[in-house]
Amino acid sequence: MEITRVYTDSNGNSHFEQVPLNMEDSNNFGYISNDLGRVVKTYVQNTLPHHNFDLHRAPAKMYITILEGELHVEVSSGEKRVFGKGEMLCLEDVSGKGHKSKTTEKGSQVSLIMEVE
């Protein structure tokens, strides 16, 4: 399994990177990921249709799991990706130029957000 990481390079530009989510055998449960970090804040966010947020940095390192709808993300290098239900992102661009995000006219976008240390 892979998740998408948004990170800042030494020049302050943000980029996407696919990173493996390491999974270990967990006996009868199947598989469980490695520790993703100490969660300091967890919330569900419902972003309304037509949301268009210009360049901004993540307020903290966070994992975002899309529960409903689509989230469009553009990093400062110009690359764009669309994330849908069940997909997970790790935002680490807490410095630099940041990223853009938006929703579509099709409906709201609901995410589970976990800020981690």
Chain segment 61-86, per-residue pLDDT in tens: 999 999 999 999 999 999 999 999 99
Look up residue 112 and give its two tokens.
Answer: 């589970």
Q: What is the CATH number of domain 2-116?
A: 2.60.120.10
pLDDT of residue 4: 98
Angle at 103 between CA 111 and CA 78, to 5 degrees: 105
63 contact partners, CB below 8 Å, separation of at least 6:
3, 36, 88, 89, 90, 91, 113, 114, 116
Q: Which residue's structure tokens are 């290098």? A: 77
- What is the rounded average pLDDT for all residues in the chain? 93
Question: pLDDT below 70 — which residues of the chain?
Answer: none
State the Cα torsion 8-14-16-22 to the nearest 10°. Answer: 20
Q: Which residue's structure tokens are 């598989």? A: 31
pLDDT of residue 104: 82
